Amino acid sequence: MPQAAYDGETMHRYFDATTDLVILILMGVVPLASSKNAEFVYANIPGMSTSAEIREQMEIAGNGPGARAAGVAIAVESIRQVGSRITGAYIVPPLGLYSSAITIIEGLNRLSLG
């Protein structure tokens, strides 16, 4: 289980670096809750990063429900980008917002990850 990722590119680099290993990979997903949260991850959590594009998306989304919805959309998209290469995903809802995990799962059910 690698550190949580916010974009498919990060996960693809991880996969490419481990192609010689026979392992099952679960993608970590921690939906962003706000622009401040995205900036905190970027500046303070080793092994996790938020790209300038993702930080900008979160800044545009503002705070509150709009930001949480943007964080969920980013999480769904990041899983979609690598869906055929992962065994599964573990979702860590931010700030006790367990409904965000349900929303991510519902979003994934509407997609073909294949």
How many angstroms separate the CA atoms of 62 and 96, rounded?
Answer: 20
| Residue at 3 is within a domain | no
| Residue at 42 is within a domain | yes
| Residue at 14 is within a domain | yes
**Residue 114 confidence (pLDDT):** 47
φ/ψ of 82, rounded to 5, equals -125, 10
Mean pLDDT across the stretch 64-87?
91
Mean residue pLDDT across the chain: 87
CA-based angle 40:10:75, to the nearest 5? 65
| Residue at 25 is within a domain | yes
List the domain range (segments joined by +) for residue 51: 8-109
**Cα dihedral value 74, 92, 59, 110, nearest 10:** 30
Q: Are 3 and 47 in contact (CB under 8 A)?
A: yes
The tens digit of pLDDT for each residue in 44-53 reads 988 887 899 9
| Residue at 1 is within a domain | no
Q: Has residue 84 got a pLDDT over 50?
A: yes
| Residue at 2 is within a domain | no
pTM for the predicted model, two decimal places:
0.86
Number of domains present in the structure of the chain: 1
